[in-house]
Amino acid sequence: FIGRVALGQNSQSLDNPFRLGVASGAPRSDGFVLWTRVAPDPLSTDTEMIGGMHGGSVAVSYEVAADSRMKDIVRRGTVLADASFAYSVHLEVDGLQAGRNYWYQFRIDDAFSRVGRAITLPAEGHNLNSLRIGFVSCSNYETGYFSAYRHLADEQPDIAIFLGDYIYEGLFQRGPKVRSHSDGVPATTLATYRNRHAQYKLDPDLQRLHAEVPSIITWDDHEVQNDYADKWSETFDDPQNFLIRRAAAYQAYYEHMPLRPSLSRLIGSTMRIYDRFKFGSLAEFSVLDGRQYRSREACYEPPKKGGGHLETRSGCAELFATDRTMLGQAQEDWLFDGLARSQSQWNFLAQDVLMARFRQGMDSNEYAYWTDVWDGYPESRSRLMNHLREAKVRNPVVMSGDIHSFWANDLKLNADDDKSPVVATELVGTSVSSPGPNYELYSKYVPNNPHVKFFESRMRGYVFLEISEKQVDVHFRTVSDVTNPESTVSTLMNYTIEDGRPGVLPA
């Protein structure tokens, strides 16, 4: 390394400054982002000692190597752990070779971080033969252990994709509690959001996954508040006050994630995270933000109806307003343009909530729409389905989270017409630890939805994909007992998606 680092005003003990681990993400063909946060006391409640730190920014040494033993060093230098962002590091590394693994490590004085792995994307148009990914969502610290992360790390995928609800801002209200959230209060301020993220990052299974597997990330609602939509809260807070809370949540999220500072720095109460990643000619991933830009939920009526709730077509005309959007105009234009231009064999949309229509019966015998998912934005979904067909997007596959259950769905051109053609496949992963929806109730509705090919809400786990030119092999993995940190893993179901044929087939 380049020698000892002067700590300046930060003269406190840094025996273990990297307690929150390391992570890499946002890969490009010539580089990636490396993340850590200097936090010798991660859960400190002293507002003058953020994570046990005070004073100005801290210089951190880093090395990037072409081998896991850190012998073949290809890049070294120093980077600042930014005091204004909780002493986090977001190092954008570039100028590296395309399509390969790299390893990295941070250091302050005689304290070393663990070694992490990063990847560069293949060069544009490179003929990549295969890709292995896992996707995860909904990890509630209070309701179970994160053994799903450990088992996904064991599989050593090329990339892990986080689809939201990485943390939970609230306190768990039902069922047994396995462990307690930080500070004993819901996260609503910058300090409490920071501590919630730090607590999750201290989990050994999550820390290992981030170190060993590069990540691509997006968020859902619990990173801020359950079922929020843009500036509209579930609890009918004043929108301007809620944006102050949202800004605090977004800043804490940025401080703890391997996001590109050139793309994702907080500006006021907004922060862009939607992005695109191309793995040669094999696969392209459009990673979406389904929270920040969406229209408020339909028939949002204080004090009765705040977050997700059921509405019918006859009872809520607003549902079908043509100007309602899940993504916002700018993101929708960006997505549609990218999909139309894509030359990739497989086109994945990584996003937060259930996209398929799910008809739920009402006492009036009229099917209902759940307002927090794409059912609450049917015109926005229709625009996307029509674009996939009209632009002849090749092999679109949607990856979703949020609903704490496994699903395999056909996505129809017209979501309310069972005879409408299938234009895409949706795979929904269950939660890492959050309890699932009522299995008996949802199973009762599945026959009303013949495009739902599989549903299971009683098990926790993740989804593993093996992508090749001709097919995608889908594996729904489940953990044996989310309350046991030594939980084992098994495969619940295997499916195949064939080139040129949307929908899943039994493997």
Condensed to tens digits (0 to 9), the pLDDT of residues 217-256 reads 999 999 999 999 999 999 999 999 999 999 999 999 999 9
The token duo for 385 is 């389905």
* 432 confidence band (pLDDT: 50, 70, 90): very high
CB pairs under 8 A, 24+ apart, for 387-391?
387/336, 387/339, 387/340, 388/339, 388/423, 388/424, 389/413, 389/421, 389/423, 391/336, 391/339, 391/340
Average pLDDT rounded to a whole number, residues 360-368: 85
Contact criterion met (CB below 8 Å) for 115 and 67? no
Euclidean distance between CA atoms 348 and 325, whole angstroms: 20
| Dist. CA 197–CA 90, nearest whole Å | 16
| Contacting residues for 140 by C-beta, under 8 A, at least 6 apart | 165, 168, 172, 431, 432, 433, 434
What burial class does residue 126 get, using C-beta atoms within 10 Å of its C-beta: 0-12 exposed, 13-18 middle, 19+ buried? middle
- Within 8 A by CB and 6+ apart from 392, the residues are none
Q: Are 170 and 226 in contact, with CB atoms under 8 Å apart?
A: yes
For residue 357, pLDDT over 90 is answered with yes
Residues 6+ apart with CB under 8 A from 507: 473, 474, 494, 495, 496
SS (H, E, C) 77-117: EEEEEEHHHCCEEEEEECCCCCCCEEEEEEEECCEECCCEE
Residue 125: CB partners within 8 Å, gap ≥ 6?
A: 280, 281, 343
Q: Characterize the bridge pairing of strands 396-400 and 422-428.
A: parallel
For 133-158, what is the mean pLDDT?
A: 98
pLDDT grade for 460, boundaries at 50, 70 and 90: very high
**CA gyration radius for the chain?**
22
pLDDT value of residue 402: 98
Q: What is the distance between the alpha carbons of residues 66 and 102, in angstroms, rounded to a whole number?
A: 5
Compute CA distances 297 → 84, 85, 169, 301, 376, whole Å: 34, 32, 20, 10, 7
Q: How much of the chain is helix, strand and coil, in % rounded to 5?
A: 20, 30, 50
Q: Compute the distance between CA of residue 454 and CA of residue 16 in angstroms, rounded to an integer.
A: 46
The pLDDT confidence band at residue 14, using thresholds 50, 70 and 90, is low
- Residue 462 CA to residue 477 CA, distance in Å, equals 5
Residue 173 has a pLDDT of: 75
Give mean pLDDT, residues 280-293.
98
CA atoms within 13 A on the CB side of 278: 17
Q: Where does the pLDDT of residue 174 fall: very low under 50, low under 70, confident under 90, or very high at 90 and above?
A: confident
Q: For position 117, what pLDDT does the model report?
A: 98
Q: Which two tokens stand for residue 190?
A: 């910058």
**3-state secondary structure (DSSP) of residue 316:** coil
**How far apart, in whole angstroms, are the C-alpha atoms of residue 377 and residue 323?**
10
CA 440-445-451 angle, to 5 degrees, is 125
End-to-end C-alpha distance for the chain, whole angstroms: 50
Q: Which residues pair with 472 in a beta bridge?
A: 467, 497
